[in-house]
Amino acid sequence: MGLIKKFRIKSFKSEETIVELKNTSVFYNKRQILNNLNLKVKKQEILGMLGPNGVGKSTIFNLITGLKNPNFGEVVIQGINVTNLPINERFTKFKLGLVPQYGGLIHDLSMLDNLKLVAEIHIRQRELREQKINKIVSQFEFEALLNIKAKHLSGGQKKKLVIAMALINDPKILLLDEPFAALDILTIRMLQEIILNLQSTEEISVVICDHQARDLLSCVDRAIILSNGKVIASGSPNEVISNQAAKTEYFGDEFNIN
Ligand SMILES: Nc1ncnc2c1ncn2[C@@H]1O[C@H](COP(=O)(O)OP(=O)(O)O)[C@@H](O)[C@H]1O
Ligand SMILES: [Mg+2]
């Protein structure tokens, strides 16, 4: 925790809301997944969403990107009601970046070709495109891996590649769906540093979810705890850990991060 903390922006201040879910409910068949859920992401914050498997974390990302429409309620991005706006328009208009829980790259292409593919979609001018790829390659230290097919990369390298691909478009809102799942401790530390560095160098808001509390809480400004379709606690990592509802429903009594 300490190691990571020193990278944090101390003067995080913005209270401006960049993404808001207003009274959103989602049903699959007759099963209710989200129940009148309210959530705000503030500009330039790193917001962590925690909750058990199946609680609806990926569903929340799907509501933000437009992959899923809520049965009730509204999705608002930068003050605009986007509930009926298609996915592609949301991505371009608001510069969304998504690192999905699974997949996100083309296995039979090399690392470099995966990067080029995304760059060609987003950046018209060849020179700018090459500059951007070079910047990302050096930032992520990809030099030795460029010609390896994605399917032969390790789990951590794949995850780094998908994050890098999401960053090519200089997103303003980056959504990371369980980026630490099944990775070793050193790779998790490296990804946490990448995320924190992004916040200090780019104007970016990050929403990150996980079902494991420890790794998530050490790299977020604020966290929300989800249970039974609702946000049951919200606050700084220390605040949510000591919240009684969050203890009862999610952390248990023994949990601490120090
Ligand atoms: N397309 C779907 N059809 C039916 N049920 C779904 C579908 N997608 C998700 N669900 C259900 O919705 C719930 C929330 O899923 P999800 O958002 O993926 O949870 P999490 O990401 O928190 O693990 C789960 O119980 C899951 O089974
Ligand atoms: Mg999920």
61 CA to centre of ligand 2 in angstroms: 9
Which ligand 1 atom lies nearest to the CA of residue 61?
17
List all residues whose CB is within 6 A of at least one atom of ligand 1. Answer: 28, 33, 51, 53-59
Atom of ligand 1 nearest to the CA of 177: 21
Would strands 173-177 and 96-99 be described as parallel, antiparallel, or unpaired? parallel
Q: Which ligand is nearest to the CA of 62?
A: 1
Separation CA 48–CA 205 (nearest Å): 11
Model pLDDT for residues 90-122, shown as the tens digit of each residue: 999 999 999 999 999 999 999 999 999 999 998
Is the per-residue pLDDT at 1 higher than 50? no
How many C-beta atoms surround the C-beta of residue 17 within 10 A? 16
Taking the CB of residue 125, how many other CB atoms lie within 10 A of it?
9
Handedness of CA 209, 215, 217, 218 (dihedral sign): negative
Task: Output the CA 97–ligand 1 centroid distance in Å.
Answer: 21
Could you tell me if 170 and 95 are in contact, meaning their C-beta atoms sit under 8 angstroms apart? yes
Query: Domains of the chain, with CATH numbers?
Result: 2-95+171-251 (3.40.50.300), 103-169 (no CATH)
Using one digit for the tens of pLDDT, what is the confidence trace for 3-44? 454 445 445 557 899 999 999 999 999 999 999 999 999 999
176-217 residue pLDDT tens: 999 988 788 888 888 888 888 887 777 899 999 988 788 899
What pLDDT is stored for residue 197 in this prediction?
Answer: 84
The neighbour count for residue 4, using CB atoms within 10 Å, is 17
